[in-house]
Amino acid sequence: MDEAKKGSDIAEEIKKELSSVAQNRYLTFYIEDEKYGINIHNVKEIIAYMRTTKIPKTPEYMKGVMNLRGNIIPVVDTRLKFNLKEIEPQMHTAIVIIQLGGVLVGFVVDMVDEVLSVKDEQLSDTPKFGSKIDTDYIKNMVRSEDEVIMVLNLDSLMSQQELEIYDTISQD
Amino acid sequence: MDKEKLKEIFIEEASEIIEKLDIEIINLEEKPDDKDLLNELFRGVHTLKGSANSFGFKRLGEFVHGFEDVLDYYRGGDDVPQREHIDIFLDAVDVIKEVFEYEINDTSGVPDRYQDCIDAFRNLINAKKNSSESDEVSATLDDLDSKDISSEFALDDDETTKEQGSSNVTSLQKELLRSLSETEILLKIVLTLDDDLYLRGQDHTIFLRLLKSEGVILSSFWDLSKVPPLNELDPQKNYIPSVEIYLKTTKDIEEIGEIFEYLEDYEYKIEEISINFSDEEENKEEEKVKEKSAKEEVKNIESQPQAKPRKTQKSENSQEIKTPSASQQRSFVKIDTLKLDELFDSVGELVIAQNFLAENEKINNIKDENVLKTIETLSKITRLIQNRVMSLRMVPIRDTFEKMKRVVRDSSRKVKKEVKLIISGEDTEIDKTMVDALSDPLIHMIRNAIDHGLEATPEDREAKGKNREGEVGLRAYHKGGNIVIEISDDGRGINRDKVYKKALERGLISEDEELSDSQVFGLIMQAGFSTADKISDISGRGVGLDVVRSSIEALRGKVEIESKLDKGSKFCILLPLTLAIIDGMLVKSSGETFIIPTLSIVESFRPHEDIVHTAQGQGEFVNLRDELLPIVRLNRILELDNNNPKVCESTLVCAENENGRFAILVDELVGRQQVVIKTLGKTLSHLKEVSGGAVLGNGEIALILNVEGLYN
């Protein structure tokens, strides 16, 4: 019993340490030539694109559900979410599994790039124009060498509101 | 381990024990002279007392103590409990349940019947003692060897001295422990000496001498209570039933145990005394109980493994509270069902991966016998694992059925009917989560059968040429992929006309509806329906059977009713084997695969053009054997596309839900399959047409349709 407790304590510590490191690391990926980043802390895993099952009566950007080792998780087509045109899955198309408030959600992206460590001074606020997508989805910008990476605001991406709406409907 | 956690364990184990008490008492009523049963009951009560006291639940402890005394009386003697005593026992269990609630919730005071029950215990014991004192004494001396010492002891002396005795011992143990140096341990050795010991050429002093060479004997206690006056003493007989020795030693318990190697298991017992005194006392008492059972069944090999490990078992702290109620023949491990679910998920993936291998063309093209053989073996093993994992969730329905005995007893008395409960198929296994949810509906249906099903009085039954005693049957069996639970009675039967009239009155049906018998009977399970002329305490408020129906439906089951006037009625609950798996029909619509639960499908067919009708503004109907079924186009209701395939070129699946029958229009049937149900998660739980998803053999997901939500 004590040992188990010790073990979990250590695990907790490691987790904390990792998360403090992860705070400043971002997974970057491409959607239609633009580079985006997600805090790696929220990324559960990345898998190759697989066929999803469409769920009736859901918004267009809800690509459907997929089978992740026995668990059924919803998948969002990030292109459609950003009001870009839908494309056929390509060789590099991937699904990034993200943990959003206790729920796993998959996001389809064109290509996964790298994991980037970012210093605080590289971060800057979002300009109100210039991107092809709704700036509400962008938390801030990262300047890295010659590139600009848009860090996605996960809360607005699959907003709490949306999750809650589903919740209240299901309670009725 | 913190206190809260300990308390949790206590509550869980105590609830388990209390739950079993009812059943055991009822069984005891059937077989009052079954000492094993009584012992089992006693052990449960005893454990409960021990743990209640160690948690400071004094009210519970005291009450259970009284109950224990009563049971101990029956345990020790030849007297068997009569019906009125069983009544007291059952009342006691009710009070225990209440006190237990009080203790857990920290409510002050005691339940109403608390004192009454304690008084009843006392009266019972006093009455019994007075009436049988003389026979008891002679009996104890005559068959000394066949009887247990500890219970004898409790009978001869007042219970309180026994309690005091054991607490003295603990303070003694405390004292002895203080004398230990760090490398030494204190062992308590109890020798049980048979009365023909000397005739067998044994000498217990040998052991004392051997022990002395291994350590220091600090103290020994000789039970002299059985030694008769000198003029009655038989020098060839041993009158000391037991010796208790405290040994201080640096050797470990196993080494000391070797001294006694050639003794019978029941003749000696060694345990280490550690710091925890209060529990020590409990363990000691516990052992007396165990010891007794071990002795009684010493020839019964199956009880041996339980007796053996106890000897060397170090008494640890109180997380070690025993559950002697667990079956004696098998050992069990408690597993969180969540872990089982996880295991189940992984196995599901394994099956899919295996299917993938088995269906892979490239692999199948390999003309190597070994490869193919291995694949074949793999698929066999996978299926085996899947079945075993499935069976982990399954438990026999026995416990739930046994609980019904009490229900029958109580409610038959309340309505003054004579009822016999006949149980069969109690070994039928059913998903654990389902067992828990089945209890309440079953109780209700049993009560219903007794109250409404059976004739009003035994005389009424006789007038009809039946036995005075009404029969209520409870039966479980497998049928197809389902489990069927039947609740039957041989009573009045359901009066079809009466039900029909009532349903009309209540506006549940309209006059022009043609209903089959089973449909009419089904009406009695509708909300707001009650045919009982008199509202009784037990049932008849008309809120019951519809609750039963909805809780059965929540388990994805359904209720079917058969009845013959004056012959009786039969309620059949059809349930899926498990909540984790569903038997489904795979159908295709607009290129997507969906699953319709087979349980809600009546039939499927390809309609002929002639029987399809379109009613203006009302949609389409199909005339199936003179029944007009509305057609629900799956692709339209799920908003998959706007196609309008011809009805006569599609397949209709006739399904049934709360609102009646309807026909689901699909493109084609794929086949029937058992699938593992998965939730879609809360983000998608608002969809009323879909109840979940299932992973198909190819790894893709098909949605399971919720038949209730498709048509209303």
Chain B residues 558-617 with a CB less than 8 Å from chain A: 592
**B contact test, residue of A52, A55, A95, A165 with most B CBs within 10 A:** A55
- Candidates A56, A64, A104; nearest CB to B640: A56
Mean pLDDT, residues A142-163 taken together: 74
User: For residue B653, what pLDDT is reported?
Assistant: 92
Q: Do the chains contact at A53 and B639, CB–CB below 8 Å? A: no
Q: Do the chains contact at B683 and A169, CB–CB below 8 Å? A: no
Angle (CA) A19 A20 A24, round 5°: 95
H helix or E strand, kind and range, residue B114 = helix B114-142
Q: What residues of A are in the B interface, CB distance below 8 Å?
A: 1, 50-58, 64-67, 69-74, 103-105, 162-163, 166-167, 169-170
ipTM of the complex: 0.71
Mean pLDDT, residues B301-321 taken together: 41
Beta carbons of B597 and B582 less than 8 angstroms apart: yes
Mean pLDDT, residues B469-474 taken together: 90
User: For residue B12, what pLDDT is reported?
Assistant: 81
Q: Do the chains contact at A166 and B683, CB–CB below 8 Å? A: yes
- Candidates A57, A65, A69; nearest CB to B349: A69
Amino acid at B212: K
Residues of chain B found within 8 Å of residue A162, distances taken between Cβ atoms: 683
Q: How many CA atoms lie within 13 A of A35 on its CB side?
A: 15
Q: Which two tokens stand for residue A69?
A: 């080792």
Judged against a pLDDT cut of 50, whether residue B658 lies above it is answered with yes
State how many domains chain A has. Answer: 1
Q: Do the chains contact at B683 and A1, CB–CB below 8 Å? A: no
Say how many Å lie between the first and final Cα of chain A, rounded: 43
- Pairwise CA distance, residues B35 & B24, whole Å: 12
- Pairwise CA distance, residues B252 & B271, whole Å: 11
- Candidates B682, B699, B701; nearest CB to A103: B682
- Candidates B639, B686, B693; nearest CB to A65: B693
Q: Do the chains contact at A74 and B348, CB–CB below 8 Å? A: no
Chain B residues 139-158 with a CB less than 8 Å from chain A: none
User: How does pLDDT run across B12-66, given as a tens digit for each residue?
Assistant: 888 888 888 888 888 888 888 788 888 888 888 888 888 787 777 888 888 888 8
The residue among A61, A47, A37 whose CA lies nearest residue A143 is A37
Mean pLDDT, residues B151-177 taken together: 51
Please report whether residue A5 resides in a domain. no
Which residues, other chains included, contact B217 with Cβ-Cβ below 8 Å and sequence gap of 6+? B208, B211, B245, B246, B247, B248
Residue B613: beta bridge partners?
B621
Q: Tokens 């190759």 — which residue? A: A48
User: How does pLDDT run across B683-704, given as a tens digit for each residue?
Assistant: 676 778 888 888 887 778 899 9
User: For residue B302, what pLDDT is reported?
Assistant: 42
3-state secondary structure of B446: helix
Q: 3-class secondary structure for B261-312?
A: CCCCHHHEEEEEECCCHHHHHHHHHHHHHHHHHHHHCCCCHHHHHHHHHHHH
Please report whether residue A16 resides in a domain. no
Q: Do the chains contact at A54 and B592, CB–CB below 8 Å? A: yes
Q: What is the CATH number of the domain that holds A157?
A: 2.40.50.180
Chain B residues 623-642 with a CB less than 8 Å from chain A: 638-640
Judged against a pLDDT cut of 70, whether residue B378 lies above it is answered with yes
Q: 3-class secondary structure for B23-78?
A: HHHHHHHHCCCCHHHHHHHHHHHHHHHHHHHHCCCHHHHHHHHHHHHHHHHHHHCC
Listed range (B72-86, B125-139, B516-530, B615-629) with the worst mean pLDDT: B125-139
- Pairwise CA distance, residues B455 & B467, whole Å: 11
Please report whether residue A158 resides in a domain. yes
Residue B558 CB-density burial (10 A; 0-12 exposed, 13-18 middle, 19+ buried): middle
Distance from CA of B692 to the nearest CA of A (A): 9
The count of CB pairs under 8 A between chains A and B is 82
Listed range (A130-134, A154-158, B293-297, B448-452) with the worst mean pLDDT: B293-297
Distance from CA of A168 to the nearest CA of B (A): 8
- Candidates B346, B348, B687; nearest CB to A55: B687
CATH 3.30.565.10 fits B395-576, yes or no: yes
Mean pLDDT, residues B75-87 taken together: 78
Residue A21 binned pLDDT confidence (cut-offs 50, 70, 90): low
Q: What is the layout of strands, in order, in the sheet containing A138-144? A: A111-117, A25-31, A34-39, A147-152, A138-144, A123-124
Please report whether residue A15 resides in a domain. no
Q: Which two tokens stand for residue A100?
A: 């959003």
* A76: closest chain B residue by CA: B683
Residues of chain A found within 8 Å of residue B701, distances taken between Cβ atoms: 52-53, 64-67, 72
Judged against a pLDDT cut of 90, whether residue B180 lies above it is answered with no
Residues of chain B found within 8 Å of residue A53, distances taken between Cβ atoms: 592, 693, 700-703
Mean pLDDT of chain B: 76
Helix, strand, coil percentages, rounded to 5, for chain A? 30, 40, 30
Beta carbons of B35 and B75 less than 8 angstroms apart: yes
A135-144, B94-103, B310-319, B353-362 — which one is most confidently predicted on average?
B94-103
User: For residue B132, what pLDDT is reported?
Assistant: 56
CATH 2.30.30.40 fits B581-710, yes or no: yes
Q: Do the chains contact at A72 and B678, CB–CB below 8 Å? A: yes
Q: Do the chains contact at A69 and B685, CB–CB below 8 Å? A: no
Distance from CA of A117 to the nearest CA of B (A): 32
Residue B588 binned pLDDT confidence (cut-offs 50, 70, 90): very high
User: How does pLDDT run across B602-612, given as a tens digit for each residue?
Assistant: 899 888 888 88
Q: Which residues of B120-133 are buried (b: 16+ CB within 10 A; e: fewer)?
A: bbeebbeebeeeee
Distance from CA of A130 to the nearest CA of B (A): 32
Please report whether residue A9 resides in a domain. no
B158-322 folds as Alpha-Beta Plaits (3.30.70)
- Pairwise CA distance, residues B378 & B376, whole Å: 5
- Candidates B685, B689, B699; nearest CB to A170: B685
Please give the residue range of the domain that contains residue A63: 27-171
Beta carbons of B292 and B242 less than 8 angstroms apart: no
User: How does pLDDT run across A43-57, given as a tens digit for each residue?
Assistant: 999 999 988 888 888
Q: Do the chains contact at B680 and A70, CB–CB below 8 Å? A: no
Say which CATH superfamily domain B1-142 falls into.
Answer: HPT domain (1.20.120.160)
Residue B323 binned pLDDT confidence (cut-offs 50, 70, 90): very low
Residue with the larger pLDDT of the pair B133 and B471:
B471
- Pairwise CA distance, residues B117 & A142, whole Å: 77
